[in-house]
Amino acid sequence: MKAAILKSLGQPLAIEQIPAPELGTGEVIVDVVAAPVLPYANEVFSGERRYSMELPIVPGCGAIGRVRASGPDATHLKVGDWVFCDPTVRSRDDALMPDITLQGWSARSEGGLRLQRFYHDGPLAEMIRMPTENAIRIGDIDPTDAARWCALVVLLVPYGGLLAASLQAGETLLVSGATGNFGSACVAVALAMGARCVVAPGRNQKVLDDLQRRFGERVRTVRLSGDEDEDRARMLLAAPGPIDCVLDLLPPSAPTKVVRTALMTVRPYGRVILMGGVGMLGGDELSLPYPWLMRNDITVRGKWMCPPEAVTRMAGLIRAGLLDLGHFDVTTFALDAANEAVDHAAAHGGPFNITVIQP
């Protein structure tokens, strides 16, 4: 089969023929129909992001495809089923503390790296081998819509955070990093879940105006000035009432004071979810005042990715018409043009833009 291969950091992807994956027990082979290229893929492939992966590797992070073959442990999957290829692979030998690898993308801890050595290659290829539980049915779709369904990769990350926060219909959410790729998706998902209001701070006025245009009065935008006290006061003023939850999705380049400014808008007994990349490239650590956390009974939780059932629930939100994939502008590339796709994704990584490779 044909695949795009990252052989060394800082070098272009090599488009080559490699052996097709072989099916094992507990596994599924999926024909990849569409695989997204994340806006920061160039930073991963250059080594700038310092992701833990062993080369060479067929990279990628999630895909839409159709089941080609499944093992004896699959009791529902059928050949031809449309599935989301969930990249979050969890070890099966410790239900309490499973190691995790993002297949074709990154590993968490030494255990995750060991897992990556087995479930190594990602979806920038004609086929992918993955654990049975990671091929999650999404129901019948028009083949011409497969690329647009790749928006799941972007939507599921903040959805995982909102589920971890137990966001309830009628609550007010503040999205730190709302003008980014994942942050803007978080705005859409929170509204689909019934949020009363989403406060969306950011520096990019064009994106803030676009969020307001797309979603109307339930989104309250705040242009950040860089002054911590002033920005916090303006966020609180924008909200129609107490802010129940803050979800941070800021990238590694953001300073920690911007994170702190947003987090400390949450009400007493409120929840804070950390999902961004701040601190991954070094620099200051996030500092929050102990007395404020303790006396206001604030819950702070880190969250990476989403639980498996999130895919099924997200597909339900889409099919119910609560979440519109039509928000996303999609640009597709053939597998032979994988390097051009990586460059395009980096240059067009704004909100509601997705770049997709269709093998």
Tell me, yes or no, whether 318 lies in a domain: no
Tell me, yes or no, whether 108 lies in a domain: yes
| Percentage, residues of the chain above pLDDT 90 | 90
Helix (H, G, I), strand (E, B) or coil at 244: strand
Boundaries of domain holding 31: 2-151+328-358
CA distance 309 to 164: 13
How does pLDDT run across 65-106, given as a tens digit for each residue? 999 999 999 999 999 999 999 999 999 999 899 999 999 999
Q: Are residues 205 and 341 in the same domain?
A: no
CA distance 237 to 231: 10
Q: Are residues 296 and 228 in the same domain?
A: yes
Q: Are residues 165 and 294 in the same domain?
A: yes
Q: Are residues 347 and 233 in the same domain?
A: no
Q: Are residues 13 and 97 in the same domain?
A: yes
Tell me, yes or no, whether 319 lies in a domain: no
Nearest to 251 by CA among 61, 88, 49, 35: 49
Section 232-255 average pLDDT: 95
Tell me, yes or no, whether 335 lies in a domain: yes
- Range with the lowest mean pLDDT among 45-54, 142-151, 252-261, 274-283? 274-283
Q: What is the CATH number of the domain that holds 104?
A: 3.90.180.10
How does pLDDT run across 269-286, given as a tens digit for each residue? 999 999 998 887 777 788
CA distance 320 to 123: 28
Predicted pLDDT at 282: 73
Tell me, yes or no, whether 322 lies in a domain: no
CA distance 216 to 194: 14
Q: Are residues 237 and 216 in the same domain?
A: yes
Number of domains in the chain: 2
Q: Are residues 144 and 281 in the same domain?
A: no
Q: What is the CATH number of the domain that holds 228?
A: 3.40.50.720
Nearest to 184 by CA among 149, 148, 209: 209
How does pLDDT run across 101-127, given as a tens digit for each residue? 999 999 888 998 999 999 999 999 999
